[in-house]
Structure 1
């Protein structure tokens, strides 16, 4: 079966300079990232801040240009399509953003925000038909139509995120890119939104590309996990494998960084996750922070092996 979303050897760099004159040179944000997403599946991309996961998601959406590599939507290569050509295909893949308030126009009524995609992809619908479609989609997301003519500030954070999900769903996409969709919400509300996403996936056969730094959240929603560090995917596999039998020391460090019931439960050789320690100039980017580092790590090409991890001296 053809994957519904395929990324092959994606690369993305950003140049310094401009108004920030003290920042010069080139920052390699994503390096040789490849993954596949099957229909009805949830793939989580996890990593600390600055690991490249959100940049990868935006390349998957084609919100950022791709320096090199291929991005396929349902088998079609969209890597080099123009903005105009992409416009007619945007209904295939939609995004739910981290901050539900910032992603909604404060001057637009809720129904108008949700209906924006309909005006682009379903121009044949009348005003009343658009309102009806919006009401139906809001209902799917647990909101009634009594608030359609209200504004974003009149809703709670959880309600605004439901509105953001409805806005993505209204054009009937096959893929949702969820960029930290619950990180700005209270824990109890997070559970409600995750339950909603699971229900929508079951009912509508959606595929999710789920971006998060919170492994506790990922464990409850992901079928497969890709772990990113310094722009590279360093481990990938089923959620069961990554959480239960991870091999890369960085993945273990992320797992060890989760809140634990008692300090004695933490692994003796664990390494704290700290983003300001830098990465090596060559070889494995994690070697400066790795408790298992050896001399040959300096020349390692960091490619995933057949077992799905990029490490010469894996855990266990």
Structure 2
């Protein structure tokens, strides 16, 4: 195993939704060999299927492997077709059918129990898109009503449920996350998944400012490159994000969870991107730790896109 990825307080991981052409054991071994601190484990049919009849056995095996490899883990629940083979991310927490909403809630409950068995530090989720013909008040009520029992399980297991603002969803921005907190009465198990690319895409403030604003609720971080107004996950360096200030903000807040590279449409090149993403983030973190100097006439910092 190579040198751990940890830089200061930052602990770096890679998401298995960008390694779907690999068996889970092979993906975890690859990340450990590259020097990652952990993994964002998306529960899916090829990677710890949450609907498998032998889930308990598979979970024990994965826990043993994570421990042997020295990898920490966050559980992610964004598998596209895990519940419905015909509709992406269906059913959602906003589905008009209460039984369908309950199916999504059951997946999150299972994920929390898996997270507890694996020693994960959070379970990630998102709201889903608002169904056609549904007014905002109805959508928010469905979301809060469906999440309430899930948050009860989160409290029981001691695993935070970290909701991700997702472009195009009902809960799309940090402001929407705070709206949800208010509707639910700010329950302690409710946390935030902050996707740095989404901040670049959609938020009014720079990503580093978003990190600082989100710090009290931050339980999970996803990172990739992105361009303003375009929701497309890009390899690090291929978009517009200036990474050193983002990593400085994460370090300054004392965030202790994983910062996970998320490239879900790049599994065809997953092993290579996992290899190159780690030195990119290390260089950006090292640049952030150094005072600016006069050596670069462009004024750019290493790790920032050209």
Q: TM-score range by the shorter chain?
A: 0.3 to 0.5
User: Is the strand fraction higher in 1 or 2?
Assistant: 1
Larger radius of gyration: 1
Larger fraction in helix: 2
Q: How high is the TM-score relative to the length of structure 1?
A: 0.34
TM-score where L is the length of structure 2: 0.35
